[in-house]
Amino acid sequence: MSAIRDIAADHQGGRMQPIARACTITATVLALSALCAPQAAAMDVPRFYWKTLAGAEGMPLIYESLSGNTNPFDPAHVVSADAQVDASLAIAGYARFLPVLDRSAMVAVLLPMGRISSEVTAAGLTTKQSASGFGDPMLEFDINIVGPPAQKGIPDAMRYEPGFSLDLLADVAFPIGEYDNASPVNIGQNRWYGRLGMPLIYQIGAWVPGQRTTVEVVPAVWWFTDNEDFVGQTMETEPMFQFDVHVTRDLSDRLWGSLDGTWYSGGKATLAGVSGAALDNIGIGFTLGYQVNHNIGLTFGYKSTINDQDPGEMRMDTFGLSLVYGWHRVIEGSRRLQGGE
């Protein structure tokens, strides 16, 4: 830790500011990506769109346990009213922050994998199906368009405060995950899909570790191409609107919490000319994050839909746990010069 303090002091005439620690320890920001990959998340993730020093890198490892009446590997969330779906999901990924035209940007790659089982009871008969393997890898690109410029050095990181920040976000999933055209239950989706969004952050009060508070809003539209071989039929899905909101607060220098909410609208699916209902669902949850050391962050979250009493409404519950390792070569090199303190 002393290496970071020394670097900060060099740039501030010996005056160390506590915010330097939070801005330069890259795992602090990358750990916020307790991301359940977007295609599996019941909600977007709080603090994921905070910015950090350009050149920062991170590798998340996430585990989720999910249950409901929809395939959590499919972001369209097509509801099967008579189904009970249970899934275990693991996600490995890599993320890097970089400057683009003096704006802060992030590129992330996520690879989901896991198991899913479905039990459907209709007319007194119960049918069980399952699948396992790798899902569709996803590429994400996010760039800030309103807010502080990119953090290209330690002084930029020390001065950083999000204030009012607005980003442009784009995701695309590659349809190469494991898929069985004879089964309606799959890990891969056999079609292209993605989202376009505009993450917004509003800072409340002082930007000091232990006191940081934000309101974060992420409106996004998911798009889907047709699955032309869904159990021998063609499945079409209309665009789906997703609106996430988070109120986050530091509970200490290392611990933070968030109250989370989401709203899904649209995404009506049509199979063999027969249309289902569009989504109109609300979910709530919470997230807790803890910074273990310079490089490692842990997060835990629970998310659940609430207006799901009708069998035709989407029902999904998610428990998630993540471990994220983050680093920056300049910071790591400085720590080694200081004896690894």
Q: What is the 3-state secondary structure (H, E, C) of 228-258?
A: EEECCEEEEECCEEEEEEEEEEECCCCEEEE
CA torsion through residues 289, 293, 295, 296, sign = negative
> What does pTM read for this prediction?
0.85
Q: What is the pLDDT along the chain (341 residues), one digit of tens a residue?
A: 333 333 344 444 444 344 334 344 444 454 444 444 454 444 577 888 899 889 999 998 889 999 999 998 899 888 888 889 999 999 999 999 999 999 999 999 999 999 999 998 766 778 899 999 999 999 999 999 999 999 998 888 888 899 999 999 999 999 999 999 999 899 999 999 999 999 999 999 999 989 999 999 999 999 999 999 999 999 999 999 999 999 999 999 999 999 999 999 999 999 888 888 899 999 999 999 999 988 888 999 999 999 888 888 999 999 999 888 988 887 777 767 665 54
Domains of the chain: 2-337 (2.40.128.130)
Query: Residue 8's pLDDT is what?
Result: 41
DSSP string, 5-37: HHHHHHHTTT---THHHHHH-HHHHHGGG----
Query: Residue 328's pLDDT is what?
Result: 86
How many CA atoms lie within 13 Å of 284's alpha carbon, on the beta-carbon side? 5
Q: Tokens standing for 111?
A: 């690879």
Nearest 5°: phi and psi at 21?
-60, -45
The residue type found at 104 is S
Q: Tokens standing for 307?
A: 């207006």
197 CB-near residues (< 8 Å, 6+ apart)? 168, 169, 170, 218, 219, 220, 221
